[in-house]
Amino acid sequence: MLNEVYDIVVVGAGPAGLSFACSMADNDLKVLVIEKSPFKVISKPSPDGREIALTHNSLKILKKIGVWDFIEDSEVSPLKEAKVFDGESDSLLSFDTNKSSIEALGYLVPNYLIRLALFKKASQIENVTIQYDISVVDVKTNPSNANIVLSNGMVIKSKLIVAADSRFSEIRRKMGIPSMMKDFSKVMIVTRVSHENSHNQTALECFKYGYTLALLPLNGNVSSVVLTVSTDQSEEILNMDNEKFCDFASEGFNNKLGAIKQIGDRHSYPLVGVFSQKLRATRFALIGDAAVGMHPVTAHGFNLGLRSQDILSNSINKALNSGADIGSDNLLREYENKQIYLSKLMYFGTNGIVSLFTNDDAKVKKIRQLVLKFANRFPPVKSLITKHLTESKKSNLIPF
Ligand SMILES: Cc1cc2nc3c(=O)[nH]c(=O)nc-3n(C[C@H](O)[C@H](O)[C@H](O)COP(=O)(O)OP(=O)(O)OC[C@H]3O[C@@H](n4cnc5c(N)ncnc54)[C@H](O)[C@@H]3O)c2cc1C
């Protein structure tokens, strides 16, 4: 049964909203999460083909909020090496863990199992209520309180609203926060395959001419194939029979994996990037994709979303300890200042990579080969990226 007053209302029980709810477990705040999907969609998420590459920092946060314990070890695939190819060239840029004591650059976990783990943890927390099958349809905030209106007409008062309602956030729009959108006019197609030869826990990113093909190594001789094509080619690829699709993928990886067999469904995602110009308003904060919706090529979206909720929840817990207002402008400004710089760097950096590596103009091809060769031969660039990947405090980069 819903009450009319909570301390915090979270809009959306996706990975970002539920992570934030889990971060509220050890305080006395009354937290309400509103989710428009039915209970069964959130409590039993279906496989969606996404394999999420988690940084060391994300792992640390998931452990801290008690979610990692709900993920089976056998579902976690360590990523030991990553290689980038351009056109038909040999690998031009590579990253590995050889010269360090760490086990992996990052860890791959299926998205639906992360969502399941988040659901399991969040639904055990006493001070968190999750309401399904109902939407937030309006939002109004002022210096003393924040109100949401639900699709059943109910009005709920709180001290702070946290919007985690996807990159196409309606709530962001209702709060008058502008965002930039970039339609890449590309579709990402993902599926699981098994193959004859070992992938050696090495991710491959092949910027082919006309399309991009990536391989994410999972446990055993199993990988996720990630194919990015222009929207007008996507139907043809989605409708290809399995044999033809596997031949296409196998050739794309220069037949190094031996025979390939598709073992999962093919899922497709239209690619649209979104960058919100502000992460806050009066008694209002944006987290997850609602704050920054990344192009998945650099595998940052959820990592950045986890980081955003971690910074916000740390500020809230600090305010609680000192008796300060959990929805104050100062607190929200502190959150925005800590998150926006890295978000900008990731978002615009990723879009820059996408522009450089998906433009097949002869001059641009030359430039990208030079960039890759330079990055590979100039140790500070490689060590900076590897360090970001593996240092738990600062990490947020996966190099593909
Ligand atoms: C193919 C692919 C691969 C990816 N790989 C990686 C990766 O390797 N690493 C990585 O870090 N990230 C990756 N990502 C990104 C990652 O999946 C997303 O960043 C993450 O899922 C976003 O979570 P979210 O909770 O912010 O948003 P969403 O998952 O979009 O959740 C939003 C929720 O809000 C609910 N909602 C919306 N509006 C309302 C409303 N008005 N009222 C109530 N509820 C509402 C929705 O029903 C939904 O449940 C990938 C993405 C794709 C597409």
Q: Is the pLDDT of residue 388 over 60?
A: no
pLDDT digit string, tens, across residues 171-190 = 999 999 999 999 999 999 99
Q: Which CATH class is domain 8-75+119-181+274-390?
A: alpha beta
Q: Is the pLDDT of residue 127 over 60?
A: yes
- Give the whole-angstrom CA distance, residue 343 versus residue 59: 19
Report which ligand 1 atom has the smallest distance to the Cα of 226: 1
Q: Ligand 1 test: best mutation among 52, 135, 170, 227, most atoms within 8 Å of CB? A: 52
Distance 273 CA to ligand 1 centre (A): 12
Per-residue pLDDT band at 349 (split at 50, 70, 90): confident
pLDDT digit string, tens, across residues 55-93 = 999 999 999 999 999 999 999 999 999 888 877 666 567
Report which ligand 1 atom has the smallest distance to the Cα of 15: 25
Q: Per mean pLDDT, which range of 32-41, 203-212, 226-235, 253-262 is the poorest?
A: 203-212
Distance 378 CA to ligand 1 centre (A): 36
48 lines ligand 1 (CB under 6 A): no
Per-residue pLDDT band at 209 (split at 50, 70, 90): confident
Q: Is 164 exposed, middle or buried (0-12, 13-18, 19+ CB in 10 A)?
A: buried
Residue closest to 171 by CA, chosen among 11, 281, 9, 333:
11
327 lines ligand 1 (CB under 6 A): no
- Write down the domain spans for the chain: 8-75+119-181+274-390
Take residue 334 and report the two structure tokens written for it. Answer: 């502190």
